[in-house]
Structure 1
Amino acid sequence: MIERPKARNVTGMIRGVLLDLAGVVYEGDHVLPGAIDAIARLHEAGLPLRFVTNTTTKTKAALLARLKKLGLEITGDELFTPGQAARAWLTAHDASPVLLVHPNLEGEFADLPHGATRAVVIGDAGEAFTYANLNHAFRALVDGATLLALAKNRTFKGDDGLLTLDAGAFVAALEYSSGLEAIVLGKPSPDFYAGALASMDCSPQDAVMVGDDAEADVAGALRARLAKALLVRTGKYRDGDESRFEPRPTATIADLTAAAAWILEHR
């Protein structure tokens, strides 16, 4: 069943498309059926695309290389990651990172200059989420560091095909223990969406988001004032997700192929 947000104007033009990656374009080590053709159709229609991901286990360069191996030719300008948002925040605020991230992501911050202040940067650290590492981050926070969350997702779909605990629970633990509220840099941060849209000179009223996460991708995009947000039944989607969060999706559809068709029909 297709769910639409109540009392929401969805009649604007579509001049830009934001696409989630994991669960929408690919899963694990394979591209989802029809995804490459769907992306090609959107490009051929002259619609600018930006790929907005909350993946925080790889640097942007490593993620681009992985996508290329999967057959996805995405430029650096088309890809927006929480890691690059964190780099920009740290530079703008003259802050040094205290990292609680996956070891594969640490290189994203290797060349930053020493800052006058500190900020704890927390992402999907995986096995690095030990008590000792969490306590190290906590002590930095009570000593005055800012708390930066690359994302605050509840779950993601693991390579084994099962829902897996994401970083959100650990962000919540540090918030509770320190009494601080995290600055979220990835989805559903309105600033994250705004940066992606600004890069293609597209207003939120002319944009559509496609994602498999009803909370961060879809409700987050609509709260960021995007005109439309489509929920696909791939990736982490589970029955009933379309009615669990507000605002509800503009439409709930099968996959990226169906999303591309919907976008072209409604543009």
Structure 2
Amino acid sequence: MAAWGERLAGVRGVLLDISGVLYDGGEGGGAPIVGSVEALARLKRSQLKVRFCTNESQKSRGDLVGMLRRLGFDISEGEVTAPAPATCLILKERGLRPHLLIHDGVRSEFDQIDTSNPNCVVIADAGEGFSYQNMNKAFQVLMELENPVLFSLGKGRYYKETSGLMLDVGPYTKALEYACGIEAEVVGKPSPEFFKSALREMRVEAHQAIMIGDDIVGDVSGAQRCGMRALQVRTGKFRPSDEHHPEVKADGYVDNLAEAVDLLLQHADK
């Protein structure tokens, strides 16, 4: 693997995942990953542009930012690219009325969306809301449509909380895809359009940007497919086997966000 100076040269913008990079969720809001609060502060004091790119779908952007600020992070709502607001734009543009299989914590993002007589389904990380009854209702809505449309807010397999690994929305999306014989439209990572929207908001070209995340597929592969570089942190959902993934190789592996920031401040934008 090339030296860090070569791998990070020319980076002008940094996209950061949130869960598993900044903090691990859990009871009471979770806990910051060691060194991440100061690492973010150092990064934001630099000349590098910073934006947060998350698949968080249990909280509204406002609630997510409020929680992160209480944990000590310097972050504002306008710096966050998240799937719920992006989904609302798509629904409005296409005149779609969703049946919502989502967590109550993100429901406020859809307050301005017409949900009467649904002609599509939106599925997000509903947590305890993934009951048989709720899954079956979403299945019934889709099966009654001539051209069923399913939106999935991200498609992650699992994520890490302070109490351990938790199932993400992906397995439930897969169940509906299989049952209905359809393929979901993913709004969120690893969708190329989601990464491109974050780059546009940051006003940085793909070759000038780097993604830092804990997910070898959603973060690393998704970013690289858009022409970005990507670092994987050994925190959050990281598994040692990720470094030997048969198809995806990060541009570098670091112990945590603090190490990533050390390297970026030393080598980026050179």
Considering the TM-score relative to the shorter chain, is it more than 0.5? yes
Post-superposition offset of 1:143? 2.5
> Counterparts in 2 of 1:98-247, with a 5 A limit?
98-113=99-114, 118-144=119-145, 145-160=148-163, 162-226=164-228, 228-244=229-245, 246-247=247-248
Instruction: Report if the CA contact (8 A) 1:193-1:221 is conserved.
Output: yes
How many aligned residue pairs are there? 259
Post-superposition offset of 1:149? 0.3
Unaligned runs of 5+ in 2: none
Q: C-alpha offsets along residues 28-70 of structure 1, whole Å, 9 cap, x if unaligned?
A: 3221222122112222221111111111111111111111111
Matched with 1:62 is 63
Give me the whole-angstrom Cα distance separating, in 1, the residues matched to 2:143 and 2:9: 47
Instruction: Report if the CA contact (8 A) 1:219-1:245 is conserved.
Output: no
Q: Does 1:25 align with 2:28?
A: no
Post-superposition offset of 1:186? 0.8
Give me the whole-angstrom Cα distance separating, in 2, the residues matched to 1:204 and 1:245: 24
Give me the whole-angstrom Cα distance separating, in 2, the residues matched to 1:64 and 1:223: 28
Post-superposition offset of 1:102? 1.1
Post-superposition offset of 1:212? 0.7
Q: C-alpha offsets along residues 161-183 of structure 1, whole Å, 9 cap, x if unaligned?
A: x2122111110010011111001
Identity of aligned residues (%): 39
Instruction: Report if the CA contact (8 A) 1:94-1:116 is conserved.
Output: no
Q: Does 1:262 align with 2:259?
A: no
TM-score with structure 2 setting the length: 0.90
Give me the whole-angstrom Cα distance separating, in 2, the residues matched to 1:167 and 1:150: 8
Give me the whole-angstrom Cα distance separating, in 1, the residues matched to 2:130 and 2:212: 30
Give me the whole-angstrom Cα distance separating, in 1, the residues matched to 2:244 and 2:43: 28
TM-score with structure 1 setting the length: 0.91
Instruction: Report if the CA contact (8 A) 2:31-2:162 is conserved.
Output: no
Give me the whole-angstrom Cα distance separating, in 2, the residues matched to 1:184 and 1:35: 29
Instruction: Report if the CA contact (8 A) 1:52-1:81 is conserved.
Output: yes
Post-superposition offset of 1:95? 1.1
SS class of match (2:108): helix
SS class of match (2:202): coil
Unaligned runs of 5+ in 1: none
Give me the whole-angstrom Cα distance separating, in 2, the residues matched to 1:27 and 1:116: 38
Post-superposition offset of 1:113? 4.0
Instruction: Report if the CA contact (8 A) 1:186-1:192 is conserved.
Output: yes
> Counterparts in 2 of 1:29-40, with a 5 A limit?
29-40=30-41
Give me the whole-angstrom Cα distance separating, in 2, the residues matched to 1:122 and 1:175: 11
CA pair 117-245 structure 1, distance change in 2 beyond 3 A: farther
